[in-house]
Chain A
Amino acid sequence: MHRTGELYGQYRTLEQQRETASLGMWIFLSTEVLFFAGLFMTYTLYRSTYPDIFAEASKSINLTLGAVNTVVLISSSLTMAMGVWAAQVGKRKLIVLFLIATLVLGSVFLGIKAVEYHEKFVEHHVPGLDFNFEPGADTGTNAHAQLFFSLYFGMTGLHALHMIIGAGLLIWLIKEAMRGRFSPTYNTPVENVGLYWHFVDIVWIFLFPLLYLIGGIH
């Protein structure tokens, strides 16, 4: 697409042209809501059916790491928003700086997730991989706990996949920003990657209380 921010024929004004890109991104993000909705619905169903098991299983995942990750991700949203701001005011070096900061924070998030997944693997809480939540408990308990962990890995895994895609987008964006491609006249890609990144943050904002805070603090 045009890289100069000039007005294209089918748009009446530059403002409308710019807004169209944003609208398109939002329509895509709405489909992402539908995408995650299936898992959230499944979670709602099984948590309401087995509330006690879900609370107990929730206590076994690392609350501290989850909370730290929440702060990391919110911070990455701030640096992303500031990256967009830097593009809007034409501070080229700052754009690169903020985008790199966002990428670093996103990587920290993924690193912490890897640590959490490893913890779960060692404790035999990974469904399908020698799963054993409560040795000696009846098969019902283990089966229902497996529901929680399937949802835990499914939802955070899908979220992590979106983070990885976001990281890829950021790498591309940093490359383009280093070439000086973004300015007050043209910064649509920065804004749209920003929208994507904030959306992934919002998904985590819901995942954190629903997965980590069910059982209360121990």
Chain B
Amino acid sequence: MSGHIVPLKVYYTVFALLIGLTGLTTWVASVNLDAPWNTVVALAIAVCKATLVILFFMHVKYSSNLTRIAVVAGFFWLAILLTFTLSDILTRGWIHESSAWQTSSLESPR
């Protein structure tokens, strides 16, 4: 039982796209976009590349829903980690501390 056999042309196309996206992200880094956008674009391109690898090289496009749940689970947990930790970090300094000894020891982002 070999499972779904992906045609080689699909692999070649995905490969070309991955190389192209690598070139794109490197080029975009040389363009000075406003503050958060460089990072947003870089991450968006990285997510596209990762999605291509997961769907086609790792055959998830041709896998069962059970497998897909396992795939999503790890990344969903990562999203929880990032979201909740950032919600802590980025809101430091929002509440004015009344006495000095209550101020958090980690300096808040400017």
Contact = CB atoms under 8 A, between A and B. Distances in A.
A193 to B, nearest CB: 12
B5 A49 contact: no
Contacts of A202: 49-50, 53-54
A78 B17 CA distance: 12
Interface string A63-77: 100010011001101
Interface residues of B, number: 50
Interface in A4-59: 5, 14-15, 17-19, 22-23, 26-27, 29-34, 37, 40-41, 44-45, 48-49
A179 to B, nearest CB: 19
B30 A217 contact: yes
B25 to A, nearest CB: 6
Contact of A67 (B11, B26, B64): B26
8 contacts: A17-B1, A23-B67, A30-B73, A37-B78, A40-B78, A77-B53, A81-B57, A88-B5
A29 B26 CA distance: 28
Given A44-B86, A202-B54, A184 B2 contact: yes
Contacts of B12: 78
Contacts of A32: 74
Given A29-B71, A198-B58, 20 more contacts: A23-B66, A26-B70, A26-B71, A34-B77, A44-B86, A74-B15, A78-B57, A87-B2, A191-B3, A195-B58, A198-B53, A201-B53, A205-B46, A205-B53, A206-B50, A208-B22, A209-B43, A213-B42, A216-B38, A217-B30
B78 A33 contact: yes
A48 B109 contact: yes
